[in-house]
């Protein structure tokens, strides 16, 4: 696979965002995108197999069951761009369905180099596929994919796994609008969304018995230690999952077990934590089925079909650019 990578000053950006998030007045926070270094991505892969966390399996079930239906609806020559492909495992069904119909170009867009490598290993045996990976942020990668489009070719964008839920609602609609601006009328977006469920189910899913989600969350502090020379004592922070009824999300936090100060060398800062104070690390918003039609409309799409999993309420939504 050809991988387009660009040198970035990622280390500098990470330090700046950590400093800004931990020194802001009020709720301290760290951006959830930093949960996914190699260790975090591997832990997320384990989460996707946990009995308590049905989201990824629901996504996969829908893609397996409806991939032919999706491929029939997005007819004609098509290039497929996937934003945040991960290992590519769940995309296989869909790509096989498209490749049974015609030769298909697949462009995974990922900030993680190792995920792109895994993705190619997982999918390159499919007949009639060509894979070109973009090691980029989502919208930068999509812009480049759009520049590769051949005349008469449709673009299908995949944004699966309810990653949209990790944006707050206004930012989610803004992101969909930004995607829409890069597309042409008639192009499509397959959007995976996790549907609202009980607080009990959500707390179980985001605070599993084995402690894998806790490790996934705590790894963010371990990463700051590794990459920014910080001295977080991981045993002095606890994983916390909490429901935010107002915005219909489940939040992950890291709670300081005592009053303590942490030095972060590359960010040139010492941060003080009170006992019980938390760092907010992620929100996963959950959606009502009808709401997705409204979000689509607000972003310049029309929601043509919605496929819903019965075992774990989750929807695959096919949006068409208007």
List residues binding ligand AVI (CB under 6 A): 47, 55, 161-163, 165-166, 206, 213, 282, 284
CB of 283 to ligand AVI, least distance (A): 8
Q: Of the two residues 45 and 277, which places its CB atom closer to ligand AVI in the complex?
A: 45
Q: Of the two residues 190 and 271, which places its CB atom closer to ligand AVI in the complex?
A: 190
Q: CA of 97: how far to CAs of 105, 106, 145, in Å? A: 13, 13, 21
CB of 112 to ligand AVI, least distance (A): 12
Q: Of the two residues 127 and 246, which places its CB atom closer to ligand AVI in the complex?
A: 246
CB of 41 to ligand AVI, least distance (A): 10
CB of 170 to ligand AVI, least distance (A): 18
Tokens of 189: 């977006």
Residue 32 CB contacts under 8 Å (≥ 6 apart), including other chains: 166, 252, 281, 282, 283
Nearest to 241 by CA among 196, 219, 211, 261: 211
Tell me how many degrees the CA angle 60-62-67 measures, rounded to the nearest 5.
100
Distance between CA atoms of residues 78 and 225, nearest Å: 44
CB of 23 to ligand AVI, least distance (A): 25
Q: Of the two residues 67 and 166, which places its CB atom closer to ligand AVI in the complex?
A: 166
CB of 217 to ligand AVI, least distance (A): 7
Residue 7 CB contacts under 8 Å (≥ 6 apart), including other chains: none
Q: Of the two residues 118 and 320, which places its CB atom closer to ligand AVI in the complex?
A: 118
For the chain, the C-alpha Rg in angstroms (whole number) is: 20
Sheet holding 314-321, edge to edge: 2-5, 129-135, 104-110, 78-83, 154-159, 188-194, 314-321, 301-309
Q: Of the two residues 96 and 194, which places its CB atom closer to ligand AVI in the complex?
A: 194
Q: Of the two residues 53 and 301, which places its CB atom closer to ligand AVI in the complex?
A: 53
Nearest residue to ligand AVI, by Cβ distance, number only: 284
Extended strands (E) in the chain? 2-5, 28-29, 78-83, 104-110, 129-135, 154-159, 188-194, 237-244, 249-256, 260-264, 269-273, 278-285, 301-309, 314-321
CB of 144 to ligand AVI, least distance (A): 23
Q: Of the two residues 40 and 78, which places its CB atom closer to ligand AVI in the complex?
A: 40
Distance between CA atoms of residues 322 and 320, nearest Å: 6
CB of 161 to ligand AVI, least distance (A): 5
- 275, 256 in Cβ contact below 8 A? yes
Residue 221 CB contacts under 8 Å (≥ 6 apart), including other chains: 230, 232, 234, 237, 254
């Amino acid at each position: 696979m050809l991988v387009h990578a660009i040198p970035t000053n990622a280390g500098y950006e990470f330090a700046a965002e950590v400093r800004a998030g931990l020194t802001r007045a009020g709720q301290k926070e760290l951006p959830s995108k930093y949960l996914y270094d190699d260790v975090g991505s591997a832990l997320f892969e384990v989460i996707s197999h946990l009995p308590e966390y049905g989201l990824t399996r629901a996504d996969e079930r829908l893609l397996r069951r409806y991939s032919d239906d999706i491929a029939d609806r997005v007819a004609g020559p098509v290039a497929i761009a996937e934003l945040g492909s991960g290992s590519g495992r769940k995309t296989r069904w869909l790509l096989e369905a498209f490749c049974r119909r015609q030769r298909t170009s697949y462009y995974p867009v990922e900030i993680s180099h190792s995920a792109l490598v895994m993705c190619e290993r997982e999918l390159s045996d499919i007949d009639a596929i060509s894979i070109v990976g973009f090691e980029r942020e989502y919208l930068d990668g999509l812009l480049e994919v759009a520049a590769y489009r051949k005349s008469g070719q449709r673009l299908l964008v995949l944004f699966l796994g309810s990653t949209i839920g990790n944006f707050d609602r206004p930012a989610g609609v803004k992101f969909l609008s930004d995607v829409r601006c890069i597309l042409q009328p008639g192009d499509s977006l397959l959007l995976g969304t996790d549907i609202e469920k009980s607080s009990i189910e959500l707390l179980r899913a985001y605070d599993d018995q084995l402690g894998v989600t806790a490790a996934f969350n705590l790894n963010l502090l371990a990463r700051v230690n590794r990459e920014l020379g910080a001295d977080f004592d991981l045993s002095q922070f606890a994983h916390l999952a909490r429901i935010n009824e107002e915005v219909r999300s489940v939040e992950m936090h890291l709670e300081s077990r005592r009053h303590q100060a942490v030095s972060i060398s590359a960010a040139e800062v010492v941060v003080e934590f009170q006992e019980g104070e938390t760092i907010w690390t992620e929100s996963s918003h959950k959606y009502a089925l009808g709401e997705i039609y409204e979000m689509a409309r607000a972003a310049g799409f029309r929601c043509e079909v919605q496929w819903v999993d019965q075992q774990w309420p989750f929807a695959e939504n096919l949006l068409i650019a208007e």
